[in-house]
Structure 1
């Protein structure tokens, strides 16, 4: 198979889907790898690094898409890239189709086979291609909080650390998953009073075993959440909100009980999701204020740490990309039910239930389109 590794064009996106070592794995199996010129520079990989592992460099995005059978990316397909899509092309990346209706339209119109990292799951119901980025996003979210609590960045001038003779800041984290634990690890190590809220008592028990004693673990009910909102300096949201839900965990009205100029860091970045007032922002323009509360809702936090993120992401996605290349996409999807969970579009049909519900459009199951 001919695999094309694209240069990302999303605002401040410096990651690349595949490392030079990953390229070597494709080459060993007899595949051809095309890398768009300078695709890896943001992550510290030169074209020479890729050539050294057997890749070929192509000069333009158009050439990459034209010659490739599988496009291996990091972020969703952006409007500038729509013209390169064609029938039968396989796209393997973070797609977030429910949030990008125009992208879903074009994937269906062009009969593209698209598989979303974020929907591939495993035998435990976890999402292994989200996990590595979730940890980095959670940690990066706390680092963002450190910055945007500073007065020079519009914050109230609070140092998120324990300082003798001064009140210890409070950080509330919603969700004890990978992102939440990542945020809690850093927040607690700085000496803050940290509270994690979750409805999964098993996750809370696990958090208790790995985090220090300055982390309080609470069952996430409305009263506990309200109590935390009243006293917290930073709220970090790390739960994925079902896309078809129209209610919210933290409503606009609830922001009014928070301390003025408190900070919300929405790692999950679900627009109008768990946090009603959330809307995605970029690294260029990362914050805005609603109801006197500063919001940081950057939807690609890991892009600020591209070398770490690229290695981690490639480690997670490469085994699945190799299956697609080695077996062909149809056989790989038929034989791997976890990969099949990520199938988003197949020859003009939407195969992701979540997107169908969110966008109120017809969808079918992957099993039906694959005839299994």
Structure 2
């Protein structure tokens, strides 16, 4: 199979899907790898590194014309839609429910789209979200330190313990990978940290990992309200179901929060768990609503590309090799966990949550593949 890794064109996206060591794995398995010129520069990989690993450096047009599988990081942007074609495999973070225009283009072009974010493991977790979730949680908290500063539009509160001064309070919603990552940074700076979750097993795991002074609360209306009243920072680390119309934190609830406090929405589901959240960019990362500063950048790991590129490739490469070695149809039929990621298939939508959110007809992957 011919695998093509393009240069990401999303604003401030410095990651690349494939590292040189990953190229070697494809070549060892008898595949050809095309890398767009300059694709790895943002992550510290020159074209020469890729060539030494066995890849061919090509321009954008040649890559999309020849590649049978496009192996990338972010969703396809409108400028890239013209490269989509029937039977081409797109393996990336697709987020079809959030980008209707992209979904239209994928269906019209009859592309085979397999989304990182929907692939599951035997425990029902999302192994290709996990590495980026850790970096997003930790990175979001690190970046939050910057936007709490007065010179960057914050209220001027140092998010750290300083003797003689009241210690800041940080509430993290979600005790998953992102939440634990955010908590590790926050607690190591001496902040008072509370984690909310409805999963008692996750809270038990957090208890084993984090210091005993971290408060672990069951997430209910009373506990959430108390945290909103007293917290200086709210960090949202839960994925909100796309079909839900309600919110964990509504616009009205912000009236009880401290004026000038900070919301870091790591999950960045527009109008999701937090009603007032909308995606922002690294160029224009914050806005103020109801007196609360919101940071809702939807690609936080892109700010740390040398770390996140390696982490992402480590997670996605085994699945990419399955698709390349077996072909997409056999790989999807044989691996039910990979099959969860099938988003579209020759003009048919195969992801339920996108069908519900966008009011589109859809079929299950099993129906499409006749399993």
Give 2:53's aligned residue: 53
Give 1:4's aligned residue: 4
- Whether 2:89 is the aligned partner of 1:100: answer no
Aligned structure 1 segments of 4 or more residues deviating by more than 6 angstroms: none
For 1:11-26, list aligned pairs within 5 A. 11-26=11-26
Give 1:313's aligned residue: 312
State the distance in 2 between where 1:23 and 1:255 align. Answer: 48
State the distance in 1 between where 2:30 and 2:204 align. Answer: 46
How far the C-alpha of 1:288 sits from its partner, in A, is 0.3
Confirm or deny: 8 A CA contact 1:132 1:312 kept in the other structure.
Answer: yes
Give 2:116's aligned residue: 117
- Whether 2:149 is the aligned partner of 1:150: answer yes
- Whether 2:295 is the aligned partner of 1:296: answer yes
State the distance in 1 between where 2:325 and 2:248 align. Answer: 43
- Whether 2:282 is the aligned partner of 1:287: answer no
How far the C-alpha of 1:184 sits from its partner, in A, is 0.3
What are the superposed Cα offsets for residues 136-175 of structure 1, whole Å, 9 maximum, x if unpaired?
0000110111001000101111111111100000000000
Confirm or deny: 8 A CA contact 1:191 1:214 kept in the other structure.
Answer: no
State the distance in 1 between where 2:63 and 2:284 align. Answer: 31
**Unpaired stretches in structure 1, ≥5 consecutive residues:** none
For 1:1-372, list aligned pairs within 5 A. 1-59=1-59, 61-372=60-371
State the distance in 2 between where 1:57 and 1:145 align. Answer: 38
Confirm or deny: 8 A CA contact 1:192 1:214 kept in the other structure.
Answer: no
State the distance in 2 between where 1:360 and 1:244 align. Answer: 10
What are the superposed Cα offsets for residues 203-234 of structure 1, whole Å, 9 maximum, x if unpaired?
00000000012210000000100000000000
* 3-state SS, counterpart of residue 115 of structure 1: strand
What are the superposed Cα offsets for residues 44-77 of structure 1, whole Å, 9 maximum, x if unpaired?
0000000001000002x22111010000000000
State the distance in 2 between where 1:180 and 1:122 align. Answer: 20
**How many residues get paired?**
371
With the length of structure 1 as denominator, give the TM-score of the two structures: 0.99
State the distance in 2 between where 1:363 and 1:223 align. Answer: 39
**Unpaired stretches in structure 2, ≥5 consecutive residues:** none
* 3-state SS, counterpart of residue 51 of structure 2: helix
* 3-state SS, counterpart of residue 170 of structure 2: strand
State the distance in 2 between where 1:76 and 1:62 align. Answer: 18
Could you say what the CA RMSD is over the residues aligned between the two structures, in angstroms?
0.4
With the length of structure 2 as denominator, give the TM-score of the two structures: 1.00
State the distance in 1 between where 2:10 and 2:221 align. Answer: 37
